[in-house]
Amino acid sequence: MADLTPNQINDRSTRIQQAREFLQENPTEKALTAARIYNLPPSTLNSSISRVSSGIHGGQNKILQEHHIAALHAFIRSLIAYGIQPTHHLVYNSICHLKRIQDPNFKAPSIAWFYKWWQGSGLHRIKSKPLAVVRLTAQSEQDVKRWFREYRTTLRQYGIRRRNIVNFDEAGFRVGCAKGQWILVSLDILEVSLF
């Protein structure tokens, strides 16, 4: 074994390399022995040995492929088209369900993985704007004209005079209307109004 400087002794990659060389020079020794000699967790040394022998170097924890991501983007657009809010929870559960259909033994990814994934997957987070059904339907010219006819009829019927009419902001008066939620959408979608 070559003489090592103090920095090299503390360098984990150097210790892994030295442990692998030790095992090559001593084929009857077990990886556990080399891990103890070089102060390494046995799993770290075993992973290093299996990577070298298989030629695999990372990237095996990719859960979704490109066609999965494209399907999720299409799914999110369809949810919005049907007035369903694609919340973080809904998108995460969709990923888990998609993978479980392919592999019943699939172990759900962590929430930390999900938050890191969506930030690099062409999605961004926006707050949906709830739109009352009344406002949605009141956007036709005929509905507005009919409303004012009925309004004038009501004023005459009850003898209400103009000086008794007060105009005020409706903030705080929307009962039964859900608040906006943080949702995940494709980068080209900048605003979503749901009812």
Reply yes or no on whether the pLDDT at 67 is more than 80.
Answer: yes
pLDDT value of residue 92: 92
Distance of alpha carbon 34 from alpha carbon 125, whole angstroms: 48
Q: What is the pLDDT of residues 136-146, one digit of tens each?
A: 555 678 877 88
Q: Tell me which amino acid residue 22 is.
A: F
Of the candidates 174, 181, 25, 190, which has an alpha carbon nearest to the alpha carbon of residue 88?
Answer: 181
Q: Which of 113-122, 151-160, 182-191 has the lowest mean pLDDT?
A: 182-191
Distance of alpha carbon 65 from alpha carbon 62, whole angstroms: 7
pLDDT value of residue 1: 46
Torsion sign across C-alpha atoms 18, 19, 22, 23: negative
Reply yes or no on whether the pLDDT at 154 is more than 80.
Answer: yes
User: CB neighbours of 16 closer than 8 A, spacing ≥ 6?
Assistant: 38, 40, 44, 45, 48
